[in-house]
Structure 1
Amino acid sequence: MRIGELARRTGVSTRALRYYEQQGLIHAERSANGYREYDESDVRLVAEIRTLMTVGFTLEDARPFVECLRSGRPTGSSCPESVAVYQRKLLEIDAEIRTLLARRSEVAAQLAEACPGCLLSRRGETRGVT
């Protein structure tokens, strides 16, 4: 299939597909007229990349998942290298959460100092003395 069809079927722009190809995540054969021709299996590879990127993975993070699929595994996450990426990503997310909680605590302390008696609601709205 040509790049336009792969883009339509996967919901990814042709520009992104060219970039994935440049990064070695997908591969296109060239027809006699120079058009890129993709294999049906590329639909699954692009879907895997897109799913991972949607939840915050980078293209480099996606590489082991793509290689796992290329090796014939039923899912991109069924290889030890993919599991290692998941584990590393969870550690990164946990660190980000700790950083955000510390930042929130600091901002709440500054609010309490600036506006004694003010409360922060669950929706983030300040209530109290104005």
Structure 2
Amino acid sequence: MRIGELAAKAGVSVRALRYYEEQNLLASARSPSGQRQYPHSAVDRVQLIQQLYAAGLPSKTIVEMLPCIETGEVTPVLLDRLSAERDRIDEQIGSLVSTRDRLQRIITTATRAKNVGHRCPGWVGPPPP
């Protein structure tokens, strides 16, 4: 498939795909006219790259991970790095859950007190102007 088709199917921009190639995250063949050609499996690969970026992994780490994902083989060093990334993501999840729970408590308290449009319960600091 051509680059525009891959971009549409994977939900990314053509520019992102070119960047992934520059970072050695994605490879393409070239047609006789020089157009990039990708296998259908590239859609899944691009979506995985997007997930890993969204989780905060840098391209260098993703490049190191991709062979492991494709072959199932992992070095002890890479396994340590993957474990560290997983732990970092777990910490992020814990922080996000805590923030969500705090927001939910404020919403619940405001709703019960019919305080909507007034001072936010749990507000720390001077009243808003």
State the TM-score, normalizing by the size of structure 2. 0.61
Structure 1 pair 126–2 and aligned structure 2 pair: CA distance change class (3 A):
same
Q: Deviations over 1:38-62 (max 9, x none)?
A: 1122222111111111111111121
Partner of 2:68: 68
Q: Deviations over 1:3-53 (max 9, x none)?
A: 011111111111111011111111110001110001122222111111111
Q: How many residues align?
A: 100
Partner of 1:39: 39
Query: Which stretches in structure 1 are left out of the alignment for 5+ residues?
Result: 98-119
Moved over 3 A (4+): 78-83, 91-94, 127-130
Q: Deviations over 1:62-107 (max 9, x none)?
A: 1233212332x4xxxx74565433322235985xx9xxxxxxxxxx
Structure 1 pair 50–21 and aligned structure 2 pair: CA distance change class (3 A):
same
Residues 1:8 and 2:11 are matched in the alignment: no
Partner of 2:84: 88
Higher relative CO (Cα under 8 Å, sequence separation at least 6) belongs to 2
Query: Which stretches in structure 2 are left out of the alignment for 5+ residues?
Result: 95-120
Structure 1 pair 87–45 and aligned structure 2 pair: CA distance change class (3 A):
same
Amino acid at match of 2:54: T
- Aligned-residue offset at 1:129: 8.6
- Percent identity over the alignment is 32
State the TM-score, normalizing by the size of structure 1. 0.61
